[in-house]
Copies of this chain bind each other. A is one copy, B any other.
C-alpha cells in the first residue's frame, strides 16, 4: 500500500440489539466511550447510528447532537459521519442530522432489496439529502448497495448535487443486495476509476463477510470499515 488506509468504525449499526450481544454500545455514553477506545486504537472515522430509549433505531437529531458533542470532546480530530439510513423513516427525519454539520453523512444513492424489505431511497429523497449536505458543507459518503448506485453517484456529480472528488462505500454481504464477492468488488473499483476519476472508496462487509471484505479492500489500497 502506498498511502495510509483510513480505518473507520461503525460502533452501533442499525440492527444489533443488547439481547443479541450485550457488548453492543447502545446508550449515548456507551457510544462515546467505545468510539473513544477505537480512536485510541487508531480509528480515524466513526459512523454513527442512534437508538431511542427502547434501543430501537431512530433518526432523532437531538441524539445525534449529543453523541457528536461527546466525540468532539473525547476524540478531537476524529471524522464524524452520521447515518442518514432509516428503514421506514421519512425523508425529513432521515436528513435531520445533516444540519448538525458533522464532517460527513452517509447517502444511499438508490434503492435495493434487503432480506425482507425494500431499502427505500427514491430519487427525490436522494436529491433532497444531497442538497442538504451541500448546503451544510457536509461531505457525503455515497453508500453503494448495488451497481446502479455507482452511476447514480456520477449523475449527482453531473447535476451539481455533490462535489467532486466523490467518496463512496461499497457495501457487500446484505442478503438480496450485492454479495460479498471479490469479483464484484474488483469490477466496482474498475468502474469507479473510469466513471468517477479521483474518487476515494472504502468497503464494508456486512455479517459473515466483514473481515474478508476489509482484507480485500486494504489489499487494493482502499479504506476499510470495521
Contact = CB atoms under 8 A, between A and B. Distances in A.
A24 B217 CA distance: 49
Given A110-B176, A113-B123, A146-B146, 4 more contacts: A111-B113, A113-B148, A184-B191, A187-B187
A116 B112 contact: no
Task: Find the residue from A112, A120, A122, A147 having the highest chain B CB count within 10 A.
Answer: A147
B123 A152 contact: no
Task: Find the residue from A113, A115, A123, A126 having the highest chain B CB count within 10 A.
Answer: A113
A117 B121 CA distance: 9
A204 to B, nearest CB: 15
Task: Find the residue from A124, A126, A155, A179 having the highest chain B CB count within 10 A.
Answer: A179
Contacts of A219: none
Count of chain copies: 2
Contact of A151 (B122, B126, B178): B178
Interface string A111-154: 11101111011111010000000000000000001111001100
Interface in A170-196: 176-179, 181, 183-184, 187, 191
A71 to B, nearest CB: 33
A157 to B, nearest CB: 14
A110 B149 CA distance: 14
